[in-house]
Amino acid sequence: MRQLIPPSLFGVVLAAAVLLAASPVPTPEFPQYTGDHQLLRPADYREWIFLSSGLGMSYSAQAGHEMFTNVFVPQWAYQEFLKSGKWPDKTMFVVEDRGSTSKGSINKAGHYQTDWMGIGVEVKDESHFPEKWAYFNFDEDTKSASANPKAGCWTCHDQHAAVEHVFVQFYPTLKPVAKKFGTYKGAAEEVQ
Ligand code: HEC
């Protein structure tokens, strides 16, 4: 490289190369659909912002198996939320289900996370869904999925979430933000 580029330009070329390498790899952080309105499974959600994790929280029919639920939101939507206390259109959320165990290695107490068991995805997409919010499930083999019926997911999120359809009452870093902007429904916190 040194022989091909005049020494005076070398610094410039090097700086450009460093900039290129540092620019983020584009990831599908916005909802993407197939021709028949199925949502494509978000691929790189593990690189999004981690909101929180529940252990054995029970809000679905799968009682009995104590799972961890790890919640993620894309960086851009998180930044918007910090500025407004609201979720911008095209925000996606992933809740990742993982098994839990306490037996392994040097562990003597408590629980740690194990196998991936599937993800639930929530999308705010006002132009795509008349109900604005839509819900999907993916397992290992699912590349795309149709929205779940309203009764399966939408209604509970609509009735019990503290900020729009999102359970901010369980995400400790977001709760003070929503309270600051007055978008927090305090009643959602009451024990039911
Ligand atoms: C009975 C109430 C209820 C139902 C039904 C429900 N959820 Fe949730 N959902 C919750 C609660 C509570 C949380 C908060 C945290 C957790 O579980 O970790 C949550 C969190 C989520 C999140 C993370 C973002 C957020 O909104 O806080 C996603 C994504 C999600 N659920 C998807 C789904 C999908 C998909 C379905 C339908 C298959 C569904 N949910 C059905 C109560 C519900």
Q: Quick one: which atom of ligand 1 is closest to the CA of 94?
A: 29
Q: Give pLDDT tens digits for 83-95.
A: 999 999 999 999 9
Ligand 1 centroid to 107 CA: how many Å? 30
pLDDT of residue 66: 87
C-alpha 170 – ligand 1 centre gap (Å): 11
Residue 187 has pLDDT above 80, yes or no: yes
- Cα separation, 145 vs 135, in Å, equals 9
For residues 160 and 144, give the distance between their C-alpha atoms in angstroms, rounded to a whole number: 27
Average confidence (pLDDT) over 22-26: 51
Please report the atom of ligand 1 found closest to the CA of residue 52. Answer: 18
Question: Vertex 95, ends 116 and 114: CA angle to 5°?
Answer: 25
Atom of ligand 1 nearest to the CA of 120: 35
Instruction: Compute the distance between CA of residue 98 and CA of residue 119 in angstroms, rounded to an integer.
Output: 9
Residue 58 binned pLDDT confidence (cut-offs 50, 70, 90): confident
Q: What are phi and psi of 61, to 5 degrees?
A: -75, -10
CA 185 to ligand 1 centroid distance, Å: 17
The Cα 121–Cα 115 span in angstroms is 18
Read off the pLDDT band of 69 (50, 70, 90): very high
What count of other Cβ atoms lies within 10 Å of the Cβ of residue 94? Answer: 21
Amino acid in position 131: E
Residue 15's identity, in one-letter code, is A
| pLDDT, position 1 | 44
Per-residue model confidence as pLDDT tens digits over 144-177: 999 999 999 999 999 999 999 999 999 999 999 9
| Ligand 1, atom 1, residue with closest C-alpha | 59
pLDDT in tens, 3-14: 555 556 555 555
